[in-house]
Amino acid sequence: MHCRIQLLVLLGILNAFALYDENLFIVKLSNDNFKELVTKSKSIWIVEFYIDQCSECHKFSKHFSQTAQVFEGIVQFGAVNAEENIELVQEQDVGKYPTLIVFNGPKGLPQVYTDKREVKALTSFITVTIYALVNMKLNGALYPAIFKSKFTDDLNESNFQDLVLKSKKMWLVVIYAHASAECVRLFKEWDFVEQELNGIIKMGSLEAISNYLTAGECKLFGYPTIKFFPRGRKKISFGITYTGKYTAREVVDWAFSTAAETNPLPKVVQIKNNVDLEDACSQKRMCIVAFFPENNVCSDDCRNDYLKSLEILNLEFKKQFWGWAWCEGKTQPKLEEALKINDVYPCLTAINLRTNKYAISFDSFTIENATKFFLKSVLSNDLKYLVKKDIEIVNVDYWNDQNNHISKEEL
């Protein structure tokens, strides 16, 4: 028995020696020296807990030493052989190996590192941590939120649950770090994101370092990480991660196409009153309104053909998150006046109800022509005219086609 213990200790020493013992950049930490060196220190410490029979630990050791070398004289690096220091392992609640824990960071509490175990990710994480600590000392607070502005909620660990997860609305959340140039650059274009999304998709920003618990649950893919939370009941794991380029335009397009994917296809509604228009368009990126010729010129078949085309276009442009509506010519005089339609039917309009801008096409109403109009004028945001305010929507009868409704099979 006695002999076996000695052998184990000996083996342990040999193995530990192999991993970090001769390393000049990594301090060997133990039950005995941990308090003195780490806990009582004011320096940031990056501490690895490892065991000898762990291939991941061996793989990681090169990355760890290289990172330690980079931060020599700036940040302290230490390693704990878990098998020899059970007390420390229990104290820090370490359950798997390797585990990296940051001590004396900006929040004081030990923070487990969860990103990739390689030099680049670890280096950028440590840089962000130093930046946060410096800000903490300078400003007394971690730092001001950079994405905070009129329509973007400043999220944190205390309000994330109430604001985002308990909300039934769609949310776009950007998780960012101050030291990330990509985040700073995206923030410069954030006005555009707000202008496009406001009123449709809620926006929030979460600073990752001050809120590392929530940020960690979001499973970060570097900074910024952008998540879309669909309408309805939410869990943090429901967030859909953006993987495109970090430009405002592309983020907005993605947000709307993800909104479209996670919502049912909108109905094409007849504008019979204010409520219809509101239902079809108020929470949409654009409102497509078609004006069909009057009943005496365009009978049921004619109108059904138009409606069928609208349905097809609705499906084709689903990703845009537009609302779709139609009315019979001359039935909404104020709306027609505002849009300068002058009794020319059919015509197709695309109205942005939030900016009061619109585009109009008087080309013959075919799928091909409408597609061209959408691509050329609407998607390139070539909206020239300003809609007059105070448009009165008249109550009209529901159009009841004698030839029945369009069946879904025909689409």
Ligand X SMILES: *[C@@H]1O[C@H](CO)[C@@H](O)[C@H](O)[C@H]1NC(C)=O
Where does this chain bind ligand X (CB under 6 A)?
A: 156, 158-159, 363-364, 366, 368-369
Query: What one-character DSSP code corresponds to residue 149?
Result: B
Closest to ligand X by CB, 295 vs 369, is 369
Retrieve residue 2's tokens. Answer: 């006695």
Closest to ligand X by CB, 179 vs 348, is 348
Closest to ligand X by CB, 66 vs 161, is 161
Q: What is the CA radius of gyration of the chain?
A: 30
Helices (H), 189-332: 190-197, 212-217, 248-261, 274-281, 300-316
Closest to ligand X by CB, 63 vs 148, is 148
Residues in the chain, total: 411
Cα dihedral 163, 166, 172, 173 sign: positive
Residue with the two structure tokens 């910024």: 224
The separation between the first and the last C-alpha atoms of the chain, rounded to the nearest angstrom, is: 81
From 233, 406, 378, select the one nearest 306 (Cα to Cα): 406
Least separation, in Å, of the C-beta of 239 and ligand X? 19
Least separation, in Å, of the C-beta of 163 and ligand X? 7
Least separation, in Å, of the C-beta of 140 and ligand X? 13
Closest to ligand X by CB, 124 vs 369, is 369
- The residues that bridge with 80 in the sheet, in sequence order, are 29, 49
Closest to ligand X by CB, 247 vs 371, is 371
Least separation, in Å, of the C-beta of 352 and ligand X? 24
Least separation, in Å, of the C-beta of 145 and ligand X? 9
Closest to ligand X by CB, 205 vs 314, is 205
SS3 87: helix
Least separation, in Å, of the C-beta of 313 and ligand X? 13
Q: Are 291 and 329 in contact (CB under 8 A)?
A: yes
Closest to ligand X by CB, 106 vs 266, is 106
Least separation, in Å, of the C-beta of 144 and ligand X? 12
Least separation, in Å, of the C-beta of 156 and ligand X? 4
Least separation, in Å, of the C-beta of 335 and ligand X? 22
Tell me which amino acid residue 156 is: N
Closest to ligand X by CB, 126 vs 348, is 348
Q: Could you tell me how many helices (H) and strands (E) the chain has, helices first? A: 14, 16
Residue 399: burial class (beta carbons within 10 Å; 0-12, 13-18, 19+) = middle
Q: Report d(CA 389, CA 118) in Å as an integer.
A: 58
Closest to ligand X by CB, 57 vs 370, is 370
Residue with the two structure tokens 């004619």: 302
Closest to ligand X by CB, 52 vs 311, is 311
Cα dihedral 8, 10, 13, 17 sign: negative
Query: Which is it for strands 357-361 and 385-386: parallel, antiparallel or unpaired?
Result: antiparallel
Retrieve residue 170's tokens. Answer: 């769609």
Least separation, in Å, of the C-beta of 282 and ligand X? 26
Least separation, in Å, of the C-beta of 174 and ligand X? 16
From 175, 171, 139, select the one nearest 156 (Cα to Cα): 175
Q: Report d(CA 29, CA 37) in Å as an integer.
A: 8
SS3 23: coil
Q: Report d(CA 146, CA 70) in Å as an integer.
A: 29
Retrieve residue 241's tokens. Answer: 């991660």
